[in-house]
Amino acid sequence: MTDTEDNAPDGMPEPPSKTRRKQEMHALQDIGEELVGLNKDRLAQLNLPDNLLDAIIEAKRLTRHEARRRQMQYLGKLMRTVDAEPIQAKLDEWNNVTRVQAAKFHSLERWRERLLTEEQALSDLVVEYARADIQQIRTLIRNAQKEAAAGKPPKSSRALFKLLREMILEEKETEPEQHE
């Protein structure tokens, strides 16, 4: 038996250690910092208590390092009085949506880049997306390459990106869900 087990009454859980309490307080302060970074619309969606919302707005206003640091500590203190779980869940949801959107955008960028640089890319695109309008894509690729060679604005490259976005998103919406 350890000393802590000897001192604890039977059946009673031990209080959290000082280190654990500090970690929890820092985690709440981190959530407060994330809240300060949100815009007014997102803050309104969280239905925060007035005192917490006022403290967040005040933290946004402060620019001096020490004043902001104290305000963030105060935010952490206020966060201890609210249930942080739903707030953190909403923040995680928003962050994940942003990551998913960024991943989709990067995927479209890769397709466009491949189409403009690799000859095999159009065949790969048609295999993956059967509804692709090959003729329109070929025309946009050819025009984008001519524009790039002439140093003109990338009008056709943008049109190709837009076409890919519409085509790929439409394909994703119509395909049945498959589980591997």
Per-residue pLDDT tens listing for the chain (180 residues): 455 555 555 667 788 888 888 888 888 888 888 899 888 888 888 888 999 999 999 999 998 999 999 998 898 889 888 888 888 888 888 888 777 888 888 888 998 999 999 888 888 888 888 788 889 999 999 999 999 899 988 899 999 999 988 887 766 655 554 444
The verdict on 22 and 73 lying in the same domain is yes
Which residue has tokens 């209080």? 15
Q: What share of the chain is helix, strand, coil (3-state, %, to 5)?
A: 75, 0, 25
Q: Would you say residue 88 lies in a domain?
A: no
Per-residue pLDDT at 95: 81
Q: Would you say residue 1 lies in a domain?
A: no
Per-residue pLDDT at 180: 41
Question: How wide is the angle at C-alpha 131 spanned by C-alphas 128 and 132, nearest 5°?
Answer: 75
The verdict on 106 and 158 lying in the same domain is yes
The verdict on 106 and 169 lying in the same domain is yes
Which residue range is the domain that position 41 belongs to?
17-82
Which residue has tokens 């350890």? 2
The CATH number that applies at residue 164 is 1.10.60.30
Q: Would you say residue 58 lies in a domain?
A: yes
Domain C-terminal end among 82, 110, 131:
82
The number of folded domains in the chain is 2
The verdict on 107 and 161 lying in the same domain is yes
Per-residue pLDDT at 179: 44
20, 66 contact by CB (below 8 A)? no
The verdict on 158 and 108 lying in the same domain is yes
The verdict on 73 and 114 lying in the same domain is no
The verdict on 73 and 123 lying in the same domain is no
The verdict on 162 and 112 lying in the same domain is yes
Q: Would you say residue 148 lies in a domain?
A: yes
Q: Would you say residue 2 lies in a domain?
A: no
Which residue has tokens 């949100």? 38
The verdict on 25 and 56 lying in the same domain is yes
Q: Would you say residue 21 lies in a domain?
A: yes
The verdict on 72 and 37 lying in the same domain is yes
Per-residue pLDDT at 58: 92
The verdict on 67 and 27 lying in the same domain is yes
